[in-house]
A = this chain, B = another copy of it.
Amino acid sequence: MNKKLSIGVDLGGTNLRVALVSEEGEIVRKIKKTSADNVFETLTASIAELAQGEIAGIGLGVAGLIDRARGRVFASPNLRAIEGIDLVSDLNKRFQVPVFIENDANVAALGEKKSGAGRGFENFVLLTLGTGIGGGIIHKGELLDVSAEVGHMSIAFDAEKCQCGNIGCLENYASARAMISRAVSMLEKGQESLLKECCKGSIYKLTPEDIYKAALDGDTLSREILRDAGKALGVGLANLINILSPEAIILTGGLIGAWNIYVQEAIKEASRRAFKDLADSVKIIPSSLGDEAGIVGAACLVFMNNAKADPKR
């Protein structure tokens, strides 16, 4: 029997990650699978494999909007396979332990707070910079259980429609999807660029890494795309700084690989825009747990909630 271990699940993106995590936030063992149609079966099998002793519970970080009142996902656009499944009660029935659910970026923030780049801060915002843009907010050392959908804050109220229904969302300017879509559209228009030679000529397979590499090789289009996306990110950072006056903003996700152009530009733009006293004191830094922040944070949900239920423990 080991009540000091719990299972953290990250159902955030294209991969399913499951880990056995200690109360100190250390990963004991982990499994990574490619999300498939049978997500629920893969998930339960992975949990069963890891949770061989007794565990304190299961924490889930799921991409999508969480219905906290009912412990469910409202809608998970990237994970149609789990829509309609009541993950919390199904896993609770299957494993007979408490199950908690949160948004994937929220648990990543919790993970960074527990044992990552957020350890030294009581108030910070974490941003996941990938295909889309997500966020999580830590205040007074604790996770704010709010939506934190910072990628869907409008920074251009009169511009192009976002797939979420809003107009001019940050995500439409600063995400990997936005960069790729702009690159493809410029290449289709015949713009000269080193990107043409990437991916054996199929521009539809372009990745943010291709753009960053081409930018480092001096490609004008790529540099412009990264800088403009960085500027837009800076607008979002300034908004978050003016609203939440965090001590730090922690950045994670694939795009931080392009730190030297994209993130540097964002930091410059944010400090130009936000209230000077707030901008001067905020630290904008990379995550230290990277892809593993989610499973650590998800597992922490369990310890956190169990401690609240039994404060004498």
Interface positions of A (Cβ within 8 A of B): 65, 67, 74-75, 123, 135, 139, 144, 146-150, 152-158, 164-167, 231-232, 235, 238-239, 241-246, 272-278
A232 and B157 contacting across the interface, CB-CB below 8 Å: yes
For A241, the chain B residues whose CB sits under 8 A away are: 147
B147 and A242 contacting across the interface, CB-CB below 8 Å: yes
Closest 7 CB pairs of A and B: A147-B245, A74-B277, A153-B239, A157-B235, A149-B242, A166-B273, A152-B242
What is the interface of chain A mostly: helix, strand, loop, or mixed? mixed
Q: For the complex, what is the distance from the CA of A169 to the CA of B276, rounded to whole Å?
A: 15
A153 and B242 contacting across the interface, CB-CB below 8 Å: yes
B67 and A275 contacting across the interface, CB-CB below 8 Å: no
Tell me the nearest residue of chain B to A150, going by C-beta.
B243
For A152, the chain B residues whose CB sits under 8 A away are: 242, 275
B243 and A147 contacting across the interface, CB-CB below 8 Å: yes
Q: Which of B65, B144, B167, B272 contacts A277 (CB 8 A)?
A: B65
Tell me the nearest residue of chain B to A166, going by C-beta.
B273
5 contacts between A and B (CB under 8 A): A65-B278, A147-B243, A154-B155, A154-B273, A165-B276
Q: For the complex, what is the distance from the CA of A153 to the CA of B157, rounded to whole Å?
A: 12
For A157, the chain B residues whose CB sits under 8 A away are: 155-156, 231-232, 235
Tell me the nearest residue of chain B to A144, going by C-beta.
B139
B277 and A165 contacting across the interface, CB-CB below 8 Å: no
For A167, the chain B residues whose CB sits under 8 A away are: 273
B156 and A156 contacting across the interface, CB-CB below 8 Å: yes
- Shortest C-beta distance, A242 to chain B (Å), equals 4
B273 and A149 contacting across the interface, CB-CB below 8 Å: no
- Shortest C-beta distance, A66 to chain B (Å), equals 9
- Shortest C-beta distance, A34 to chain B (Å), equals 28
For A74, the chain B residues whose CB sits under 8 A away are: 275, 277
Q: For the complex, what is the distance from the CA of A95 to the CA of B273, rounded to whole Å?
A: 40
For A144, the chain B residues whose CB sits under 8 A away are: 139, 144
A156 and B158 contacting across the interface, CB-CB below 8 Å: yes
Q: For the complex, what is the distance from the CA of A74 to the CA of B274, rounded to whole Å?
A: 14
- Shortest C-beta distance, A305 to chain B (Å), equals 14
B275 and A147 contacting across the interface, CB-CB below 8 Å: yes
Q: Which of B65, B147, B153 contacts A153 (CB 8 A)?
A: B153
- Shortest C-beta distance, A63 to chain B (Å), equals 14
Tell me the nearest residue of chain B to A68, going by C-beta.
B245
Q: Which of B153, B158, B245 contacts A243 (CB 8 A)?
A: B153
- Shortest C-beta distance, A157 to chain B (Å), equals 4
- Shortest C-beta distance, A4 to chain B (Å), equals 27
A166 and B244 contacting across the interface, CB-CB below 8 Å: no
